[in-house]
Amino acid sequence: MFEYEIAAARNADLIREADAYRLVREAEKARRASSRSQEPERAVREHRSRFARTA
């Protein structure tokens, strides 16, 4: 019975840890999306002049 209680406690710890990790990732994603919507769009750089034309 003791091993079952340890396993149940470990399972609960892992679930809490996963929830915290998920929350942090969602916050980072939301922060990135918010900062992207506030800054003006960037110009696309032309890379055609960097490469030689092929035959």
The highest-confidence range among 7-16, 24-33, 43-52, by mean pLDDT, is 7-16
- What pLDDT, on the 0 to 100 scale, is given for residue 48? 62
What is the tens place of the pLDDT at every residue in 18-38?
999 999 999 999 998 887 777
**According to the 3-state scheme, what is the secondary structure of 5-55?**
HHHHHHHHHHHHHHHHHHHHHHHHHHHHHHHHHHCCCCCCCCCHHHCCCCC
- What pLDDT, on the 0 to 100 scale, is given for residue 36? 73
Which pair of structure tokens corresponds to residue 38? 């506030």
Average pLDDT taken over every residue of the chain: 85
Give the C-alpha separation, 22 to 54, whole Å: 48
